[in-house]
Every structure is written in C-alpha cells, then in structure tokens.
Amino acid sequence: MPDFVWSSQSPLKKALVPGRHGAGKGAPGVALSHVSDIALVQVMARRGRNADVAKAAKKLFGAEPPAALKISSGKVVTLVWSGPDQFLAFSELPQTAPSIEQQEQAFSGSASLSNQSDGRCLIRISGPNARDALAKMTSLDLHDSVFPVGSAATTSIDHTAVNFWREADDASGNPAYVALVFTSFSDTLWHLFVESSLEYGVEVAASGTGH
C-alpha cells in the first residue's frame, strides 16, 4: 500500500496572482494579502461562567475577551468578538500562540472550544482606497467615526459569512481591514476583492504572506 504524504497549501494557490493589477498610474490604491497558516479557536463561555472565562483569557492570552463589536490584542493572539459570550482567539503565528491543548486546559469547565484553524484563511485589505473598494461589497459603514481601529463585526460579503475587523493602520497611515473567510469560499471572495479594487490599482502580495 502506498504511503500518502499530506502537505498543507493555500486555498488561494490558483486564484492569487501577485503583482500590480488594474489602474497602472501612481501608487496602488489598495493592497491585498492573505495568510492561510493561522491559529484560530472559537471560545464560547458556558452559562454563568463569563467571569471565569475573562480571568482565564487574561492569564493565557494577556488580554480579556473583547466587548461587543470589538477586538482586544494580547501578546501574539488577537481576540475577536464573534457573538454574545463568545470570541475567536486568532493568531498569524501559530507556532508561538497557545496550543489547543493549553486552551482546553485553561478554559476547562468554563467554556466550550472549537478549533477552526484549518477551516479559515485571512484576507487583509488596506490602502487609501480600501474603504472605497469594500463599500462595493459590504453594507457596513466603515467611516472612521463609526468603525474605528479595533472595531469588529460578524457580517456577510457576497452572501458569505465573514468575521471582519479593523486593525491598526498601515505604515502609511491608511486603514487596514481583515476578513476571516471559510476556506471553501475564499477563492470566490478573493476574486471579488480583486475586481472591486481594480479601478484604484491593486497590489497583490505573494501567496501566504501577511503584513
């Protein structure tokens, strides 16, 4: 019987074409990148155990669970509000983030956990025209006064469920947004992100890169 060797690969391996696309004059208005190798665990507090979950999260991640529609940042993990009494523990550095076993131990008896690391990929969109491109595909109001840095939402883009938040502005001071997408839908949404950005000029990072 032959031996099978499983190797992970980006769900956007075929769809992602690095380089400049669309309008070609001046600096690109949008930058797109993605990360497929992530650590992602859904943490759902059990009834009446919110205080215990908050204490465990602070000790394990260095951050307390975020308030509604917010994120909170720890040392290597970002906690993303995903609904009442629940959040996502997300990291782009899975090797240094607390393991699922460590999280199960920390939240034993106080929360239920669901490891979603292999089921999602991250798409990051930033740049001076990022908000304009996103306005074509989401009903969220992304104005600074409504959706400042640290805001989060559970929403849909092109009828696909997405965990969406605004992280710190990029090095040029432009807004930066993150979408956590189910891998089975990531190809379709990636094409939508690119097509919505073409009129501004879009720079696509090489496969699997983040910032």
The partner residues of 82 in beta bridges, in order of sequence, read none
8 Å CB contact between 80 and 71: yes
pLDDT at 13: 74
- The structure tokens 């060797």 sit at 5
Question: Hey, is 75 helix, strand or coil?
Answer: coil
* Whole-angstrom distance, CA of residue 33 vs CA of residue 125: 7
First-last CA distance in the chain: 43
Q: What is the pLDDT of residues 142-193, one digit of tens each?
A: 999 999 999 999 999 988 999 999 999 999 999 999 999 999 999 999 999 9
Return the domain boundaries, the chain: 19-36+119-204, 39-115
CATH number, domain 39-115, options 3.30.450.40, 3.30.70.1400, 3.40.50.300, 3.20.10.10: 3.30.70.1400
- Per-residue pLDDT averaged across 126-139, rounded? 96
Question: pLDDT, tens digit, for every residue of 51-79?
Answer: 999 999 999 999 999 999 999 999 899 99
Over 80: is that where the pLDDT of 210 sits?
no
Is it the case that residue 27 has pLDDT exceeding 60?
Answer: yes
Q: What distances in angstroms separate CA 104 from CA 42, 53, 79, 147, one per listed residue?
A: 11, 12, 16, 33
pLDDT at 11: 78
pLDDT at 4: 54
Q: For the domain bounded by 19-36+119-204, which CATH number is listed?
A: 3.30.1360.120
Percent of the chain residues topping a pLDDT of 70: 93
HSE (side-chain half, CA atoms, 13 Å) at 173: 0
Q: What's the mean per-residue pLDDT of the chain?
A: 92
Work out the number of other CB atoms within 10 angstroms of the CB of residue 150.
16
- What was the pLDDT predicted at 24? 83
Please tell me the predicted confidence (pLDDT) of residue 12: 85
Question: pLDDT band at residue 36, thresholds of 50, 70 and 90?
Answer: confident
Cα torsion 192, 88, 71, 194 to 10°: value is -10
> Once rounded to an integer, what is the mean pLDDT over residues 189-207?
94
H or E stretch covering 95 = none
Percent residues over pLDDT 90 in the chain = 84
